[in-house]
Structure 1
């Protein structure tokens, strides 16, 4: 037994806890928002609230447009109606087609109009978990993606539809057949075409993201240019109607947008030539 004074009061010194500093962000201001830790249930509750708010926004705009549903469908089908001969017309092969097809078109328009509100709700859900540099990139990417998607839809409506419909009507004339189109089939064709061209116009954003995060180098993207051209025609052959005109109208813009993405990525690299605090410590991977 040790009788030295103070020996009984002495406590063992706690061992230091090792801290992995590599996992911490280099910039103390570039970190997710601080706050009380949330449970999985709280995340689900917030997700449900965001989905309800996004759906309510779409529904509100839809209710505001539903009165003009026939006019919206007439505008939607105008490229086809202008290409049809004098005796050509649209037909309805389903009892409920004349009601539900305009409603579907109006709902699509309402979703496109409310898409910024939907994206805002998504942003409010994911923003607390993002770093500051990630938040700075999200807004330009989302805005540019939305604008480019609308440009793709407008390109299909104002250029692709009139060209394809006139081309098909020209080859239908020698047959002497009456050219009529079901409204439901026209809706499916238009939706597929809008989606294909809307996604196609996102190519510049995809290229910039790949280069910005170092997934693929700019030189590598330039080297695979011939494969991209071939892939553009393959994709066009799969997602467009089986006619050469539609494939060309999708494949050529896809290739040109890829070239535009390379140019914009090169400009972006020159403007961000100085490495930031997060990437300067990472090894450089060469292709």
Structure 2
């Protein structure tokens, strides 16, 4: 299973590489696997170094994680917010520090991780093409950090207030367990950062001609529904407020993507007019209704066409042939015996009609066996056996 999935992913990677550099040769499966291993090792090493570096400042990072409690109004200061947390696990504080350091390491090392991913997905790039990726990396990093900050300042405090008030409706006192609180807040921030990468994905599809301005304009309603479902799936809380706070910015980002797709497509049309003219021609041909042929006719029979030259023969073959009536057989009593006297020829009789000689056999006028009826065949069998029919 895993080998099949990797094989499909590697084939897609090979296709992208050949499109960028047609002169390159295809790589075998093991070479792609080696490139994947290299990318993973680079990403793991980068995350390990960044996590170790941020772990040194775990106290400062923990104070940053506690600040949403102050923003939500549960404590006036960060020191007071620390008094709200309880610990129910022996290794809880240590795992909390590791978790906070890991999330901070991902945020700090995100540009390098993004570069490693692009190097694997887009192999064979030259130095000039790699320089063109720097703006995309900068935009992607800015969107990721912007999503994390939006979740930290705007969404997370309101989510904490919602859950605390909901617990109060059930008569329960809200107790903030340190491990659960840190896990919830870090995942919440990270999910928003990843969700804000939507414009990068959309613009990449536009550059690959998978999405166009026309498609995005005609399907914007479907896109809004898809964004809402996406936000509902990745949102760590089930409340409607958090869902709207996540999906709202994504709606705006998608609208910006539509506008950018228009200008990018306009620029490309000016640079490559022949290419887009061919695309429009292909789209018009696809929009045409298919021409009806003989197969669309319900009464069409491909084996017996009206234009067939052998139609009359086929019709004659299909019609049943009527059987001939059985010949009348005279009874033996009605047969007049021949006399020994010669028969006088009548006057005016055709001289050409002469009795056949004894040695000359009369012409066989009987029908073939395939055209005889069952009664005729039975009568012939009885005559051959010496039992004439009654």
| Structure exhibiting the larger radius of gyration computed from Cα positions | 2
Structure 1 residue 112, shift from structure 2 partner? 1.9
**Residue in structure 1 matched with residue 323 of structure 2 by the alignment:** none
CA distance in structure 1 between the aligned counterparts of 2:121 and 2:23, rounded to whole angstroms: 11
More RCO (CA 8 Å, sep 6+): 1
CA distance in structure 2 between the aligned counterparts of 1:55 and 1:273, rounded to whole angstroms: 42
Range 178-187 or range 254-263, more displaced: 178-187
Instruction: Rate the CA distance shift 1:213–1:46 in 2: closer, same or farther, 3 A.
Output: closer
Write out per-residue CA displacement over residues 45-66 of structure 1, whole angstroms, 9 at most, x where no aligned residue. Answer: 5654554344333322322222
Range 136-145 or range 159-168, more displaced: 136-145
Write out per-residue CA displacement over residues 17-59 of structure 1, whole angstroms, 9 at most, x where no aligned residue. Answer: xxxxxx9xxx9xx73797x997765665565455434433332
Instruction: Rate the CA distance shift 1:224–1:120 in 2: closer, same or farther, 3 A.
Output: closer
Normalised to the residue count of structure 1, the TM-score between the two structures is 0.73
Q: 1:31 aligns with which of 4, 16, 21?
A: 21
Q: 2:52 aligns with which of 63, 66, 69?
A: 63
Does the Cα contact within 8 Å between 2:62 and 2:97 map onto a contact in 1? yes
CA distance in structure 1 between the aligned counterparts of 2:51 and 2:168, rounded to whole angstroms: 39
CA distance in structure 1 between the aligned counterparts of 2:265 and 2:238, rounded to whole angstroms: 40
Counting matched residue pairs gives 260
Q: 1:198 aligns with which of 193, 196, 201?
A: 193
CA distance in structure 1 between the aligned counterparts of 2:123 and 2:23, rounded to whole angstroms: 5
Structure 1 residue 169, shift from structure 2 partner? 3.8
Gaps of 5+ in 1: 1-22
Matches of residues 67-216 of structure 1 in structure 2 within 5 Å?
67-83=56-72, 85=74, 89-123=84-118, 129-130=124-125, 135=130, 138-170=133-165, 177-216=172-211
Does the Cα contact within 8 Å between 1:83 and 1:169 map onto a contact in 2? no
CA distance in structure 1 between the aligned counterparts of 2:175 and 2:56, rounded to whole angstroms: 27
Does the Cα contact within 8 Å between 2:269 and 2:276 map onto a contact in 1? no
Q: 1:274 aligns with which of 270, 274, 289?
A: 270
Write out per-residue CA displacement over residues 226-249 of structure 1, whole angstroms, 9 at most, x where no aligned residue. Answer: 223333333333332111211110
Structure 1 residue 258, shift from structure 2 partner? 1.1
Instruction: Rate the CA distance shift 1:65–1:33 in 2: closer, same or farther, 3 A.
Output: farther
Write out per-residue CA displacement over residues 165-221 of structure 1, whole angstroms, 9 at most, x where no aligned residue. Answer: 234445555666422222333334334423432233122223322332221321221
Range 246-255 or range 204-213, more displaced: 204-213
Does the Cα contact within 8 Å between 2:213 and 2:261 map onto a contact in 1? yes
**Residue in structure 1 matched with residue 216 of structure 2 by the alignment:** 221
Range 116-125 or range 257-266, more displaced: 116-125
Instruction: Rate the CA distance shift 1:120–1:94 in 2: closer, same or farther, 3 A.
Output: same
Instruction: Rate the CA distance shift 1:54–1:84 in 2: closer, same or farther, 3 A.
Output: same
